[in-house]
Amino acid sequence: MSEVNKITNKQVLVVTSVSAEKEAIVRGLGYSSRFDVIVAGVGQAASAAVTATALAKKDYDYVINAGIAGGFEEKAEVGSLAVSTEVIAADLGAESDDGFLSLEELKLGSSIIEVEKEVVTRMCAEAMAQGISAHKGAILTLSTVTGTQETADSLLERFPEAVAEGMEGFGVAEAAKQNQIPVIEVRSISNKVGPRDRESWRIKEALATLEKASSIFPEVFK
Ligand SMILES: O=C(O)c1cccc(C(=O)CC[C@H]2O[C@@H](n3cnc4c(=O)[nH]cnc43)[C@H](O)[C@@H]2O)c1
């Protein structure tokens, strides 16, 4: 069968945290009955609970956690797009005199959820073709927005592959994983990760990038 005649029927759940993100994505998608876009609230608990409920109500083939995020310096600039190669719960673990101990080190489970590499590559390639600056790498999930250079540096020291941080990715990804559904995190960058400066957040610009990136979803998630 030629590419043109292939029937595409993947059902995709897109999970956002706030309605401004949902509205940007709905605008970008235009009419597409394969995509359901929901608002789950801020943080891992809300995003995991709402995602799990949505997955219990309907069969989906793919889950996307999409929204705005902080970008790490020299990794993902404001206005660009971050696409997760892995979703990492960066503050799930224990502090010790020898540094942070992850769930893996504590032998209590996993704080990393892998993403299908070919989908990441496709998403980045399609985004670049649309003129979006796209960066692939780990996206960290944190319960607290980083607000100091010290925390930003220590996160990059622990996760040199990180490009961005958000507050919901791991919650959405864990719910998808428990339902054996592949997941990806796609985030537009509204601010730099580092010393708190809310005035410098470029939410309008990030929502515009999110809208543009969402217009690619039907092509990437076929
Ligand atoms: O005020 C608005 O108009 C507005 C519009 C869209 C989204 C927001 C949010 O505040 C969303 C909160 C959401 O943003 C993520 N986020 C953004 N930057 C960071 C960061 O540096 N570190 C962690 N999370 C970040 C996060 O996922 C929140 O859920 C406001």
Angle between the N-to-C axes of helices 169-178 and 44-57, in degrees from 0 to 180, rounded to the nearest 10 = 30
CATH number of the CATH domain containing 186: 3.40.50.1580
Per-residue pLDDT tens digits of the chain, which is 222 residues long: 455 556 678 999 999 999 999 999 999 999 889 999 999 999 999 999 999 999 999 999 999 999 999 999 999 999 999 999 999 999 999 999 999 999 999 999 999 999 999 999 999 999 999 999 999 999 999 999 999 999 999 999 999 999 999 999 999 999 999 999 999 999 999 999 999 999 999 999 999 999 999 999 999 999
In a domain, 2, yes or no: no
> How far does the centroid of ligand 1 lie from the alpha carbon of residue 117, in Å?
26
In a domain, 50, yes or no: yes
Domain that holds residue 34: 12-220
> How far does the centroid of ligand 1 lie from the alpha carbon of residue 170, in Å?
15
- DSSP class of residue 65 equals E
In a domain, 164, yes or no: yes
Query: How far, in whole angstroms, is CA 22 from its chain's centroid?
Result: 14
Tally of domains within the chain: 1
Atom 21 in ligand 1: which residue has the minimum CA distance? 70
In a domain, 4, yes or no: no
Best residue among 190, 192, 199 to mutate for probing ligand 1's pocket (most ligand atoms within 8 Å of CB) is 190
In a domain, 7, yes or no: no
* CB of residue 17 inside a 6 A radius of ligand 1: yes
Q: What is the ipTM of this complex?
A: 0.93
In a domain, 191, yes or no: yes
In a domain, 155, yes or no: yes
Residues 186 and 81: beta-carbon distance below 8 Å: yes
In a domain, 26, yes or no: yes
Residue 222's CB is within 10 A of a number of other CB atoms, namely: 15
